[in-house]
Copies of this chain bind each other. A is one copy, B any other.
């Protein structure tokens, strides 16, 4: 799914190939309306899509690519709080005067559609199923985040890394020859930012897992060779693991 930087190549909603996009729940009239009024921007790997502290004007829908959502601490410590891909959303409707407490940046070249608050509000009022599915999405993300919160508070470093690998696999996993491949190239620090630890610990944990044969690493490519054993490591924290990892 190659995205041109040319703005004239703006994808129209009614014939958009992204089937999972929530906008698809709107009726045709509104699909056209949204498609005509939205803006579309191509981001390169590493680009910021949302800056922390930026004013909220509307909502972002990921057309193509992969994105991470993060919040900064006071030095260069960051916490990656969410991973999202094509079909998912970023940001949120906000009352005027609100600002983003989180930032978002592209993990690979990505195309993002943006819809303004007012139009969005009208779309919500006229497409109940659209609103409903978005509500369900937020509700599910909230539960997932609540669960991860417990993990960050209670897990050991090794468990946090196992958890981060599972999370990455759920978000960007790809099955190749019975192995699960994490289909995104991340620095060690970026993995550490997901797990909530520092890069040195991430490295130590990853090489430990590699020694045990649980994973394979070659530079930035990670393969989960024994997915089930990784799950076993964190199972005690997820009594209802089927809820999250289905």
CB of A239 within 8 Å of the partner chain = yes
A94 to B49, alpha carbons, bound, how many Å? 31
Whether A93 touches B131, Cβ cut-off 8 Å, given contacts A74-B236, A82-B146, A146-B145, is: no
CB of A19 within 8 Å of the partner chain = no
A142 contacts which of B52, B121, B142, B152 (Cβ < 8 Å)? Answer: B142
Task: Tally chain A residues at the interface, Cβ within 8 Å.
Answer: 53
Per-residue B-contact encoding for A125-137, CB less than 8 Å = 1, 0 else: 1101101101110
CB of A141 within 8 Å of the partner chain = yes
Q: Which of A77, A134, A135, A136 has the most CB of B within 10 A?
A: A135
Q: In the bound complex, do residue B93 and residue A147 qualify as a contact, i.e. CB atoms below 8 Å apart?
A: no
A46 to B82, alpha carbons, bound, how many Å? 33
Q: In the bound complex, do residue A99 and residue B240 qualify as a contact, i.e. CB atoms below 8 Å apart?
A: yes
Q: In the bound complex, do residue A79 and residue B243 qualify as a contact, i.e. CB atoms below 8 Å apart?
A: no
CB of A12 within 8 Å of the partner chain = no
A109 to B131, alpha carbons, bound, how many Å? 34
Q: In the bound complex, do residue A149 and residue B147 qualify as a contact, i.e. CB atoms below 8 Å apart?
A: no
Q: In the bound complex, do residue B146 and residue A74 qualify as a contact, i.e. CB atoms below 8 Å apart?
A: no
CB of A72 within 8 Å of the partner chain = yes
| Residues from chain B with Cβ under 8 Å of A53 in the complex | 239-240
| Residues from chain B with Cβ under 8 Å of A138 in the complex | 135, 138-139, 142
Q: In the bound complex, do residue B154 and residue A79 qualify as a contact, i.e. CB atoms below 8 Å apart?
A: yes
A146 to B195, alpha carbons, bound, how many Å? 14
| Residues from chain B with Cβ under 8 Å of A81 in the complex | 146, 149-150
Per-residue B-contact encoding for A104-133, CB less than 8 Å = 1, 0 else: 000000000000000001001110110110
CB of A227 within 8 Å of the partner chain = no
CB of A71 within 8 Å of the partner chain = yes
Per-residue B-contact encoding for A4-38, CB less than 8 Å = 1, 0 else: 00000000000000000000000000000000000
Q: In the bound complex, do residue B243 and residue A153 qualify as a contact, i.e. CB atoms below 8 Å apart?
A: no
CB of A67 within 8 Å of the partner chain = no
Taking A52-B239, A52-B240, A102-B146 as given, write out 17 further A-B residue pairs in contact, using a Cβ cutoff of 8 Å, ordered by the A residue number: A71-B150, A73-B150, A81-B149, A92-B136, A92-B139, A92-B143, A99-B242, A101-B244, A125-B128, A128-B131, A131-B132, A134-B135, A138-B138, A138-B139, A142-B142, A149-B149, A152-B152
